Structure 1
Amino acid sequence: MTDVLIVGSGPTGLTLACDLALRGIGVRILEQRSAPHRESRGKTLNSGSLEVFGRLGVAERMTAVGGAGLVFRKYFDGARVNDTFYGDGLIMGQWQIEEILRERLSELGVQVEYESRLAGIGQDTAEVTAELADGSTVRSRYLAGCDGGRSPTRKLLGIPFEGSTEEAEMMVLGDVTAPGLSREFWHQWFTSDGGAMLLCPIPGTDIFQLQASRELDERGEPLPPSLESFQRLFDRHARMPGIRLAEPTWLSAWRVNVRMAARIREGRAFLAGDAAHVHPIAGGLGMNTGIQDAAALGRTLAAALSGPAGEDVLGAYEAERLPVAAELLADTSRRMERVLAAVREPGNGTEAGLD
């Protein structure tokens, strides 16, 4: 039996695993994927996350890979309007963050266990039993669900995910190359009809993370993300005929979700990161809040396992982080409204959501 079983090997789960392993606590981390992904996803680490990573011994590795500071180059109806320097945060792809955390976890003697899908959860007053899809079981003192917005852990625990989801997808996302486009800027094109195309360079790679308005067919239905659709959107908004997007390695679509778990503890099981809360992307707070969740849960579990108060401390995690999640949803919703209003005027960009 292990001390803590973690489900999900994104930034939240890996941060928690490293934190616990550094404290000498037995940990296993399960991942239903067959291998690590190579997707940029969350791409900005704030000072709070870097502080956590400093305690884990990986902050310098992050800064060696990421880029500190970035110029937002803004365009309106195809014409360049202005440049704005954004000096806070560290820009890097989420897969790069996870790679560094996996390396640190390996140094601590723990490996991610791939192709391990959670199928059931049982618990009593002493332990949790996790049933896996292959029929095997894992016993642990505690379980942490760090398995994303569609969290199997949350669903198996029967915890409501309260809030709202927009029916229409708001944007498409992807990782592409754009030969000939300057990598010194986060390019942000907005148009008077409300459309947008953003290309952010991921440091140390040839990749840009793409975010754009949905492309609609003749019936007004959204087209699925594809390289061909990305190129048509780029041509419409950027109006730079010499640039051809290429090598798509991630294709996705995003809709606004504003939801949080009704509770983030069920007996000996806990939720953290997107499994506990999802929200608008304005401000880039999602991954960073998950990392802070992991740090708080690590403190709580370490105190329960080795502190003088024992399990009396288990309620501290929910008491600390559930109000944070509620404010996060409200704050990011306000930030999203500011961004959508600001970009209708030439010269404004996503920085409207950073204040």
Structure 2
Amino acid sequence: MNAALEVQPHDSWDSFPLFQLLNNFLRNDSLLCNGKFHKHLQELFVPLVIRYIDLMESSIAQSIHKGFEHETWQPVNNGSSTSEDLFWKLDALQDFIHDLHWPETEFASHLEQRLKLMASDMIEACVRRTRTAFELKLQRTSKTIDFRIPSSVCTMFNVLVDAKKQCCKLCALDGGQEFSKQWQQYHSKIDDLIEETVTEIISLLVSKFISVLEGVLSKLARYDEGTLFSSILTFTVKAASKYVEVPKPGLDLADTYISFVRQNQDILREKVNEEMYIEKLFDQWYSISVKVMCVWLADRIDIQLHVYQLKTIIKILKPESYDIMTTLTSSTVREDQV
């Protein structure tokens, strides 16, 4: 048997099935488990296991770097092609090492901890690269009322959602192990990073939506009392209304803005996989929108609003225009205004 082990190549993984076969036989026999030959078998394969993990860690790190460089952000299952590939490789590696059923407890624990730390590092890299790509993509999009959330942005959101779910599986140690304070801090670090990143991208999206609202309010400001545009518009409308039905630009603007809101809501509901985050985004979006419009109105407290301004603000301020409000959100907004 020793002769068969000695001829196993040291630069190939083809000998792992032999280790599994022998180890499973030996560890299930009370007389042979951790005997002389069993320990010899472990000594021969320890360097091979360590080298295999080293190479896999390097390979996965390179695949993350190259994958995100060429990522198209087309939806693939629960995320993107790069994130799906990453989580599959990490899971497969952990399953492979687990299936070795390493008999020596201390080394088995070391292997598990190393793989969990590796998964945390790789997921952290994935989250940071996704966060950077999200911000760059959003910067390149329009700030006009024609803005619709690109599918790629939803995919990035889903990568973070999936990273949070995968983290629970790939980064958590076996519950039977004793957790050191350092390990607990390290594990909570990646959890906190994902939550912080999700909060940041929600804020970025809300800021984008608010910039569109500010554009709408800027157009409404042209109707302010005493401006040249307002005077010309009033005179023109009165003169023209004697002969034809004059369209009301303020209401057209309100309808266009409400379409912008609802269509973007529909996109998010359809393409983002975590309802809790979407509701958080909608709640924040509406609350800040109300505050922005309140500031806009407060700036005009000493002047009379044009009828178009008034009708537009009333229409876009209604909760049903957003189709997102709950009793909790309504009460939150009222408390904020008080």
**TM-score of the superposition, structure 2-length normalised?**
0.21
The structure with the largest helix share of the pair is 2
The structure with the largest strand share of the pair is 1
Q: Which has the higher contact order (CA 8 A, sep 6+)?
A: 1
**TM-score of the superposition, structure 1-length normalised?**
0.21
